[in-house]
Chains A and B, each alone.
Chain A
Amino acid sequence: MAWLTDAEAKAKRKTDIGPPHFGQFLPPVIKKNYGKWKHHERLDAGTMVHVGESGDKVFTVRVGSPRILSTETIREMLDIADKHCDGYIRFTTRNNVEFMTPDEAKVAPLKKDLKSKGYAIGGIGPRITNMVHTQGWVHCHSACTDASGLVKAIMDDVYPYFEEKELPNKVRLALACCVNMCGAVHCSDIAVVAVHRKVPVIDHTRLSNMCEIPTTIASCPTRAISPDPAKKSVKINPDKCMYCGNCFTVCPPIDIHNPENDGVAIVVGGKIGSLRTGPKFSKLAIPFFYNEPPRWPKVVAAVRNIIETYAKGAKKHERVGEWIERIGWESFFKQTKIEFTYQHIDDFTFMRDTMRNSAAFKY
């Protein structure tokens, strides 16, 4: 197929039309019962049924996705949706794929087809579902780990909790390949976040040509950057820098990357919903692991340890953060056998909120 010529493109282009209205993409049963659903039931780890006030039902089969999809795989999914789901398909906010049908008799053949083509069915209910994650080395300039590879390694390991095994409540996993956190990492049950540990290195020649010095200075949240007039550049105070990399984003010659010292941290106990307790940030559990591609075995084992300790200790319906708050963080560190370090004590903005004032605590 030939590309459009410049003239053709100019003639065809439209601006500011926005996305198409979703109405044209809704399966008939969804359209008919829109706003009139009565209840739903989970049938198994990968199937649920929603029942409308009309008595209509819609069955949903959910499958996992690596989020990076080739057009060939998308077409394969579309063929399945044509065969079993009247030509409609849907994706979830966590990048899963949903196949829906109003016809109960079509559910088994749909699942058989999906399984035969190697699709992973599951993730519904008190389980682990797809990890929200970022681009990583696949496509990002500021990544200090790969996102997709770590996600693949972790999801392979916790797969029984996706496919079948139940947990006290859902456990939402996420991964961010730098502290920009293009994902809900900061409010996840367990999240992996990539971190730097060294002050960035400045290429003064390039900086004086490429960067606006006041903007670069202003980009630093801890005011570690000051002018260096002799070099027509800037200098960084190593006592103040906490390696966030924001200066690198506004001024590329300040290079924050350091493969020997970059790696990932694990944070735990966050949630986004308001059920029982309010939304919470995830807090630091393990400050550092070296990048060990392709499968980051130590990170995978650490995530598994936290999940299994939670599964053993939490009450039904307690999320990871609620379980930890009930038993106390000191018990969390004891039960998970995770070492407590200086990095765990906030010395940035939240020390006054996070140090303990009460004389009552556990050993």
Chain B
Amino acid sequence: MKKYETPLLDELEKGPWPSFVKEIKRAGKTNEMANDELGQLEKSYRDRKGYWKHGGIVGVLGYGGGVIGRYSSLPEEFPKVAHFHTVRINQPSGFFYSTKALREICDIWDKYGSGLTNVHGSTGDLVLLGTTTPALEPIFAEYTSRGWDLGGSGSAMRTPSCCIGQARCEWANIDTMEICHQMTQKYQDELHRPAFPYKFKIKVAGCAVDCVAAIARADCSVIGTWKGKIAVDQDAVKWYAKNGMDIVKEIVWMCPTECMSYDGKALTIDDENCSRCMHCIAKMTKALKPTGKKGVSILIGSKAPIVVGSLLSWVVVPFMEVKPPYDDLKGLIDKIIEWWDENAKPRERIGEVIEMKGMRGFLEHIGVPPQPQQVREPRKDPFFFWTESDLKK
């Protein structure tokens, strides 16, 4: 094994936060790929520059994604990372594992790859970091024969992701993990064979707290919500007051719709004026509980800044009841993707296409009527379109 001096990276072994350098060194003790990764990274730290080339087209037979090609631009200096491809393993919903299953994932990875991982990547996949082209087919066979499949990459459906939902959260209005699993299974072809204009992400959150950043990061953001009153347990309200909560300051005054009042004994909510933002429920979880119909709000269009600035998703369907096997939701997402696919130029996300083509055509295609819940305020300008059918009304 080549020995690299790493004075700069060694500085990042110090301090209380867990060190990624320790991890690379740990893998590098026995794995030459991880060892060369360490050497190349030290050079990057010295030169303040990355040394990875663009991903080439690599993959497994019959799939167009799931593997990201990566090559060192210094293959002679660091031969063991000449190929250093990423393999994305589609995570189970909610990131739960049995130790047996995760151990098996590690054993296979040690055999074929660098021994380095990301648990997990930004989109949600379990990322295996660094292997060679000849290893890809055997890796694929080892994982798929044990029930694991690859995630998405490129211009495709990306691996759907969700919050922990009803598995361990009383705020979840919907079964996020099952919805995420169902959507992942439904879109296997779209996930593995990139045929979209660009990437398309689905994220499912159980409530407006949005622990999976669906509204910020998913083209299709599915947010659990309810239609009905918030049930108040007044004894629990007293418990919070007794335990030091200033209910007027922390709850009543922070309610964005001013729909709450507290007289020192009982907390009352004007449910008609509640916007279901989750502030009070999140702070007084023992005392407050949504009741009535449970369902989802669907927001569309968010993305990161490339190319003309970031977007947050827009409310398209304010409320929709969903039940297994979630056929209504699947049908709606099918229509959303269909419209995008018909109207997008290459590398245009759905939010950008809606901005270009207008919200109306999109809403008409997916069969959703205009509703005030969709907008923060109506338009300000006097330049609006009329169709022939509008004129006849």
Contacts and interface: CB of A to CB of B under 8 A. Distances in A.
* A and B assemble together: yes
B65 interface: no
A272 B310 CA distance: 13
Contacts of B106: 71, 74-75
Contact of A9 (B107, B141, B306): B141
Interface residues of B, number: 129
Interface in B12-30: 12, 14-24, 26-27
A21 B215 CA distance: 25
B91 A16 contact: no
B329 interface: no
B145 A152 contact: no
A68 B149 CA distance: 21
Given A12-B141, A26-B96, A159-B15, A275 B209 contact: yes
A50 B285 CA distance: 11
A22 B181 contact: yes
Nearest to B304: A181
B210 A272 contact: yes
B229 interface: no
Contacts of B217: 184, 272
A25 B254 CA distance: 39
A132 interface: yes
B115 A71 contact: yes
Contacts of B209: 273-275
Kindly name the residue among B51, B92, B99, B106 whose own CB sees the greatest number of chain A CB atoms within 10 A: B99
A148 B20 contact: yes
Interface residues of A, number: 123
A1 B145 CA distance: 17
A5 to B, nearest CB: 8
Contact of A4 (B52, B138, B210, B216): B138
Nearest to A184: B213
A344 interface: no
B359 interface: no
Contacts of A275: 208-209, 277-279, 282
Interface of B: 8-9, 11-12, 14-24, 26-27, 34, 37, 41, 44-45, 47-55, 60-63, 70, 84, 86, 90-103, 106-107, 109-112, 115-120, 122-124, 129-130, 135, 137-138, 140-142, 144-145, 147-149, 161, 163-164, 166-170, 172, 175, 177, 181, 184-185, 188-189, 192, 208-213, 215-217, 249-250, 254-256, 277-279, 282-283, 285-286, 304-310, 312, 345-347
